C-alpha cells in the first residue's frame, strides 16, 4: 500500500466535498435543519457531503467498510474501514460561524494509517499517513514545545446533550482556568485536534465524543509528535469516549488534574 499516494487522493476528495459545503453555506436555509437528539442537529448538507465522500472513497478501496456519522452506508470491511465525519461542527455551520471541518480516517486492521482534517473556510488541510509525518497544506508540522501548563493554551468542548458529568466537568474547567494560559471552545473536535498537531493548542480534552469526531485528528496529533489518551491516561480513547491530546510535555500535569474530577 502506497499510503502517501492514497493520502493525496483522500485530500483531493476532501477538498472537493469542502467546495460543496462552502457553496451551500452561502444560501443555507435553516428550515432544512433536522433534530437527531437534544441539541444534535443535522441537515441535507451533512448527508449529501457524506454521500459524496463515501462514493469517492469507495473508488479508492472498494473492499473497505465505513463508520460514518450520518449512517448513509452500512458496510464493514475485513481489513480497511473509513471513519468519516462529513461536517464536524454542524452547529457552527448552521449558525454561520465559519469553523467546521471534514474528518476522514482510514483504519487498517483496527489501526490508523491515514488521517485528513480539512478546515473548510480557512482552506487548511491537515494530514498524516503511515510512514510519514504530519502536514498542514503539505508543510510538515509538529506539536508545541511548551513544558509548563501555566504557559499553555488549551482547547475543550462543553457538554451539549449528555449532562451526567456536567458538574464535575465545570469544576475541572474552573481548575484548568487557574492553571493554564487560557481555555478555548471552537466547536469542532477535529479542528481542535489539528490545532494541537500544529502547535496552536498545547492540549485538548473532551468527553462523549464519537470515533468519527476524533479518529483522524488523533492520528495527526500522534504523527506530529503528540500523545493521545483517555482521561485515566490509558490508550482506549475511542472506547471510553474520552480524549486527551497533548504535546507530550504537559501530559502528566493535565492527567493529574483531570483525575481529580473523573
pLDDT, tens digit, 9 for 90 and up, residues 187-214: 999 999 999 999 999 999 999 999 999 9
Stretch among 33-37, 153-157, 176-180, 252-256 having the lowest mean pLDDT: 33-37
| CB-count burial class (<10 Å; 0-12, 13-18, 19+) for 179 | middle
Q: Say whether pLDDT at 37 is over 70.
A: no
CATH class for the region spanning 149-259: alpha beta
Give residue for cell 437534544: 38
Residue boundaries of the structural domains of the chain = 3-141, 149-259
pLDDT of residue 163: 76
Task: Give the C-alpha separation, 185 to 206, whole Å.
Answer: 10
pTM, whole model, 2 decimals? 0.95
At residue 36, the pLDDT reads 65
The residue-averaged pLDDT of 110-121 equals: 98
Tell me the per-residue pLDDT of 229-253, one tens digit each, with 9 for 90 and over: 999 999 999 999 999 999 999 999 9
Residue 121 has pLDDT above 60, yes or no: yes
* Structure confidence at residue 39 (pLDDT): 46
- For the chain, what percent of residues have pLDDT higher than 70? 96
Per-residue pLDDT tens for 75-98?
A: 999 999 999 999 999 999 999 999
Residue 35 has pLDDT above 70, yes or no: no
**What's the first-to-final CA gap in the chain, in angstroms?**
41
3-141 against 149-259: fold identical: no
Label residue 219 by pLDDT band (50, 70, 90).
very high
pLDDT band at 166 (very low <50, low <70, confident <90, very high): confident
Task: Sort strands 65-68 and 80-88 into parallel, antiparallel or unpaired.
Answer: parallel
Q: How confident is the model at residue 164 (pLDDT cuts 50, 70, 90)?
A: confident
pLDDT at 170 over 70: yes
What CATH number does the domain located at 3-141 have? 3.30.540.10
Contact 130, 26 (CB under 8 A): no
Q: Give the whole-angstrom CA distance, residue 198 versus residue 185.
A: 17
Would you say 14 and 116 are in contact if contact means Cβ atoms under 8 Å apart? yes
How many Cβ atoms from other residues are within 10 Å of residue 59's Cβ? 9
221-231 burial, b at 16+ Cβ within 10 Å, e below that, comes to bbbbbbbbbbb
The three grid cell numbers given for residue 85, joined into one nine-digit string: 465525519
Amino acid at each position: 500500500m502506497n499510503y502517501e499516494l492514497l493520502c493525496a487522493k483522500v485530500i483531493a476528495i476532501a477538498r472537493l466535498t469542502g467546495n460543496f459545503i462552502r457553496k451551500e453555506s452561502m444560501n443555507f436555509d435553516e428550515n432544512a435543519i433536522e433534530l437527531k437528539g437534544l441539541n444534535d442537529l443535522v441537515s441535507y448538507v451533512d448527508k449529501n457531503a457524506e454521500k459524496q465522500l463515501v462514493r469517492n472513497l469507495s473508488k479508492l478501496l472498494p473492499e473497505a467498510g465505513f463508520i460514518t456519522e450520518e449512517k448513509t452506508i452500512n458496510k464493514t470491511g475485513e481489513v480497511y474501514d473509513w471513519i468519516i465525519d462529513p461536517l464536524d461542527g454542524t452547529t457552527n455551520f448552521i449558525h454561520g460561524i465559519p469553523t467546521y471541518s471534514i474528518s476522514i480516517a482510514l483504519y487498517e486492521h483496527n489501526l490508523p494509517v491515514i488521517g485528513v482534517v480539512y478546515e473548510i473556510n480557512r482552506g487548511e488541510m491537515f494530514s498524516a499517513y503511515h510512514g510519514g509525518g504530519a502536514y498542514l497544506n503539505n508543510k510538515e508540522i509538529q506539536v508545541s514545545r511548551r513544558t509548563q501548563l501555566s504557559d499553555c493554551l488549551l482547547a475543550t468542548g462543553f457538554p451539549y446533550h449528555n449532562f451526567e458529568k456536567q458538574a464535575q466537568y465545570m469544576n475541572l474547567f474552573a481548575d484548568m482556568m487557574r492553571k493554564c494560559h487560557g481555555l478555548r471552545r471552537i466547536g469542532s473536535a477535529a479542528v481542535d485536534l489539528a490545532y494541537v498537531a500544529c502547535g496552536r493548542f498545547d492540549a485538548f480534552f473532551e468527553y462523549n465524543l464519537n470515533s468519527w469526531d476524533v479518529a483522524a485528528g488523533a492520528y495527526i496529533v500522534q504523527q506530529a509528535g503528540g500523545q493521545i489518551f483517555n482521561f485515566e491516561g490509558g490508550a482506549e480513547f475511542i472506547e471510553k469516549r474520552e480524549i486527551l491530546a497533548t504535546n507530550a510535555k504537559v501530559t502528566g500535569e493535565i492527567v493529574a488534574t483531570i483525575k481529580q474530577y473523573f
